Amino acid sequence: MKISRTFLSAILALSVASTAFAAAAGGAATQAAVSGKLGSGKKVLIVWGGWDGHEPKQCVDIFAPWLREQGFEVEISTTLDSYKDAAKMKSLSLIIQVFTMSQITPEQEKGLEEAVKNGVGMAGWHGGMADSFRSNTEYEFMVGGAWAAHPGGVIDYRVQVTNPTDPITKGLADFAMHSEQYYMLVDPNVEVLAVTTFPKTYAPWIEGAVVPVVWKKMYGKGRIFYTSLGHVAADFNVPEAREIVKRGLLWAAGGPGAGENPKPTNPYISLLKK
């Protein structure tokens, strides 16, 4: 069978165009496409410490190997001074913080917040992100919420998925947890993906309160992912809890197929409608 020169020329032109498109997409995206790994060309900094009761190291040991399997270059640190290294922070795609009930210096906080404002993603869970620095309001503003209470301590409760189409929660049904049910103070500008409803058992005055469990938001150009799940490492034996964190880390790191920027839930806007 003869193949015309016109047909061969068309194939060659298509090949050249595809190469040009890949180059234009950027180095990290090209590496990801070639390797088949979402994290190729991306760096992650995991900083853990603070209160040992939240088992920060054990939790990091669950997700750090998985991130490396996805192609990410992962650095693990046990000091908040890592945030003061401007060159390092600028090179990152994602910061994961697992640091409960601690203190952060002005220099450390500035390094973290400036990196996120300029486009580095940040992700975390439970008190390691939402109960880190109780005196730092700008940090809480960045996270999008803060821990307030966990009535009853470790109890049985349910998590209700409110956005079954988002890449972080897609395909997941409501699920049960035996852990701390976090009562959160939450920024209305976050996009809520899952919630929990509080009973009257331990604090009757909050019966029926619906509180976010999973959210995402922006801080400047940086993506923020948070879930209140993960009191201890065993909580991530619940498949849905582990999967939500994995997907949240990928979303916050950005890149091809990670999903869109958040659309704020803003639950109070309905109060203005007449």
HSE toward the beta carbon, residue 171, CA cutoff 13 A: 7
**Which residues have C-beta within 8 Å of that of residue 265, sequence separation ≥ 6?**
188, 190, 191, 192, 215
Cα separation, 163 vs 170, whole angstroms:
8
Residue 99 in contact with residue 125, Cβ under 8 Å? no
pLDDT in tens, the chain (274 residues): 444 444 334 333 333 333 332 333 344 444 454 456 889 999 999 999 999 999 999 999 999 999 999 999 999 999 999 999 999 999 999 999 999 999 999 999 999 999 999 999 999 999 999 999 999 999 999 999 999 999 999 999 999 999 999 999 999 999 999 999 999 999 999 999 999 999 999 999 999 999 999 999 999 999 999 999 999 999 999 999 999 999 999 999 997 778 899 999 999 999 997 6
Tell me how crowded residue 146 is: count the other CB atoms within 10 A of its CB.
Answer: 19
> Cα–Cα distances in Å, from 107 out to 85, 112, 115, 191?
10, 9, 12, 30
CA angle 229, 62, 149 (to 5 degrees): 20
Domains of the chain: 36-145+214-267 (3.40.50.880)
Predicted TM-score of the model (pTM): 0.87
